[in-house]
Amino acid sequence: MSENGGFASRSGIADIEETPKFAPKFSAEGLIPAIVADTGSGKVLMFAWMNAEALEATFATGEAHFFSRSRRRLWKKGESSGEVLKVERVLTDCDQDVILLRVTPQGRGAACHTGRRSCFYREVRRENGAWRLETVGAERLFDPTDVYDENDEPA
């Protein structure tokens, strides 16, 4: 095992940017940001965090796994809601400190725990110096009160 959680170690910038070596940069907490986009529409659906175990589990199963910072554990997206994300492609960025998952949503197609297709259903506006949110594309594909136990954190 290398010092980078079983992945290649990170050497110079040129090596990281132009290499076929996968040397992801994890934070001090062992996490890397993960963006989830819809393969079909290209739209960004959600954002979460992965650790090395979540990355391994995602490749092992073909379904998106993350690390829940609030629950401090591996989390399979859809484990309670059924809204599993089938992973088509996994990409990383130039400096290998972000993961991008291209997915096909299963279940009802609601990646957001609020029952919406995408977590990004509100636009930020600034008018006369005041900030506000405007709801856009916010149709719910399920009612979260039907899906999650009240003691259960959404997944």
Q: Which residues bind a second copy (CB under 8 A)?
A: 7-8, 17-22, 33, 35, 37, 41-44, 46-47, 59, 89-95, 98-100, 112-114, 116, 119-124, 126, 131-136
User: Between 71 and 132, whose beta carbon lies closer to a second copy?
Assistant: 132
As measured in angstroms, the least distance from the Cβ of 96 to a second copy is 8
**Other C-beta atoms lying within 10 Å of the C-beta of residue 106:** 14
What is d(CA 78, CA 37) in angstroms, rounded to the nearest whole number? 16
User: Between 65 and 113, whose beta carbon lies closer to a second copy?
Assistant: 113
As measured in angstroms, the least distance from the Cβ of 7 to a second copy is 6
> Would you say 118 and 43 are in contact if contact means Cβ atoms under 8 Å apart?
yes
- Tokens standing for 56? 């391994």
What is d(CA 97, CA 41) in angstroms, rounded to the nearest whole number? 25
User: Between 22 and 104, whose beta carbon lies closer to a second copy?
Assistant: 22
What is d(CA 111, CA 48) in angstroms, rounded to the nearest whole number? 11
Q: Is the dihedral of CA 20, 48, 35, 85 positive or negative?
A: positive
As measured in angstroms, the least distance from the Cβ of 108 to a second copy is 16
As measured in angstroms, the least distance from the Cβ of 17 to a second copy is 6
